[in-house]
């Protein structure tokens, strides 16, 4: 499937992965329509989400708008599609940014009715394992009700492909590594993981009953510039710069399959182009680095890159700012992606080394201040 001329919905477009995906689509598409929707909730500082929106909207003249109109008085359905030159060929991409929740069924239905999407990429979700223990309601609203609204809208539209974010968290208490998409995932250890597994089951049902081509992507510990502040690499950087103590759980005996955000987006774009076929057009893939890193090695590399970028002084006393603690509820000791299916079907495997990715993050961290 070519992306040329497609009408694409990206939910969670002000989020980490969503913002990178939209910017990539601007480069990929010769013409078409991109609609982003995000509720800009306060799970972490919305200023970072607005920053991402500014990166997307720079030079495009389209402010975020709400179904009821924006503060600037812009028409919420206004489009912007000036011709741009690329290699002597004109191109134009309509881009609309909507502030709203996919849990709002009326909004979802209005967007589908107006834009008649060809491809839907559902990245909107309440993230965070630990947060789900204290705030379960928001996970049901966004991850279950919101995803149901997307499925229902796809059911009543001519959507050619639904791509949605799942998570490595669905592997839960699995002891076999690396994690394969053929493994059973019946032992989630957090509500967040349970909602993501529910998404996979719901999507399979809609694919079976209504023939909706859908692909779920199990992301493994995504990191990079402008990422989520609640993720370890970002929160560690914040705390170290402030002279605070970082907490390393399970006494450092954890391994994570870190995946650089550009690799994630490359995988998403490749998957978007090839919807599954068959009696039940449904597929699941892991997107992960396939090389789990020890948490202590990860912390050491992060510290070195923060020093190199000038965020920390060369003589910073790291040991004095490190505390080792037991495993937290909802965490797992290791994540490790088997990416054989992704390599087989799409000829792609994430390749960005951890040091290179953390170096890019550290340099961005210093630039942004």
Cis? peptide before 346, omega within 30° of 0:
no
- Cα(328)–Cα(251) distance, rounded to whole angstroms? 11
Residues 186-196 pLDDT 10s: 989 899 999 99
Predicted pLDDT at 201:
98
Q: What is the DSSP letter of 139?
A: H
Cβ pair 190, 242 in contact under 8 A: no
Instruction: Give me the chain's average pLDDT, please.
Output: 88
Strands 255-256 and 293-294: antiparallel
Compute the Cα dihedral for 339, 252, 16, 110 and give only its sign: positive
Nearest Cα to Cα of residue 213 among 119, 148, 347: 119
* Catalytic residue check, 223: no
Per-residue pLDDT tens, the chain, 369 aa: give them: 999 999 999 999 999 999 999 999 998 888 899 999 999 999 999 999 999 999 987 735 333 333 433 333 333 333 333 333 333 333 578 999 999 999 999 999 999 999 999 999 999 999 988 888 889 999 999 999 999 999 999 999 989 999 999 999 999 878 888 999 999 999 898 999 999 999 999 999 999 999 999 999 999 999 999 999 999 999 999 999 999 999 888 877 888 899 999 999 999 999 999 999 999 999 999 999 888 899 899 999 999 999 999 999 999 999 999 998 887 776 777 788 999 999 999 999 999 999 999 999 999 999 987
Cα 316 off chain centre by:
33
The secondary structure of 1-54 as a DSSP string is ---TT-EEEEETTTSHHHHHHHHHHHHH-SEEEEEEEE---SSS-HHHHHHHHH
SS3 88: coil
Residue in 43, 131, 171, 192 annotated catalytic: 192
Structural domains of the chain sorted by starting position, each given as residue range(s) with its CATH number in brackets:
7-221+259-288+335-351 (3.40.50.720)
């Amino acid at each position: 499937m070519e992306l040329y001329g497609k009408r694409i919905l990206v939910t969670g477009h002000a989020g980490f992965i969503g913002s990178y995906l939209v910017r990539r689509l601007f480069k990929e598409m010769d013409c078409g329509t991109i609609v982003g929707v995000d509720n800009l909730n306060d799970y972490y500082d919305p200023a970072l989400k607005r920053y991402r929106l500014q990166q997307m909207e720079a030079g495009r003249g389209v402010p975020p708008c709400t179904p009821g109109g924006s503060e600037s008085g812009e028409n919420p359905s206004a489009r912007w599609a000036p011709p741009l030159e690329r290699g002597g060929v004109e191109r134009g991409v309509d881009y609309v940014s909507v502030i709203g929740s996919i849990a709002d069924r009326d909004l979802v239905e209005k967007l589908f009715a107006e834009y008649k999407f060809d491809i839907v990429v559902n990245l909107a979700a309440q993230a965070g394992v630990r947060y789900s223990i204290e705030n379960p309601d928001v996970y049901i609203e966004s991850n279950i009700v919101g995803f149901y609204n997307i499925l229902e809208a796809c059911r009543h539209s001519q959507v050619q492909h639904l791509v949605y974010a799942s998570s490595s968290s669905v592997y839960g208490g699995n002891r076999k590594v690396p994690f394969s998409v053929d493994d059973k995932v019946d032992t989630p250890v957090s509500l967040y993981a349970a909602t993501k597994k529910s998404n996979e089951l719901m999507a399979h049902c809609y694919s079976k009953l209504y023939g909706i081509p859908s692909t779920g992507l199990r992301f493994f510990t995504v990191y990079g510039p402008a990422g989520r502040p609640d993720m370890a690499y970002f929160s560690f950087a914040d705390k170290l710069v402030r002279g605070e103590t970082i907490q390393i759980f399970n006494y450092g005996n954890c391994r994570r399959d870190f995946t650089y955000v550009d690799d994630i987006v490359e995988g998403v774009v490749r998957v978007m182009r090839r919807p599954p076929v068959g009696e039940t057009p449904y597929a699941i893939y892991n997107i992960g680095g396939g090389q789990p890193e020890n948490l202590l090695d990860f912390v050491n590399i992060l510290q070195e890159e923060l020093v190199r970028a000038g965020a920390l002084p060369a003589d910073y006393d790291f040991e004095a700012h490190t505390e080792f603690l037991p495993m937290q509820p909802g965490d797992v000791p290791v994540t490790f992606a088997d990416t054989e299916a992704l390599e087989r079907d799409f000829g792609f495997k994430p390749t960005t080394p951890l040091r290179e990715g953390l170096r890019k993050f550290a340099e961005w961290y210093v630039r942004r201040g």
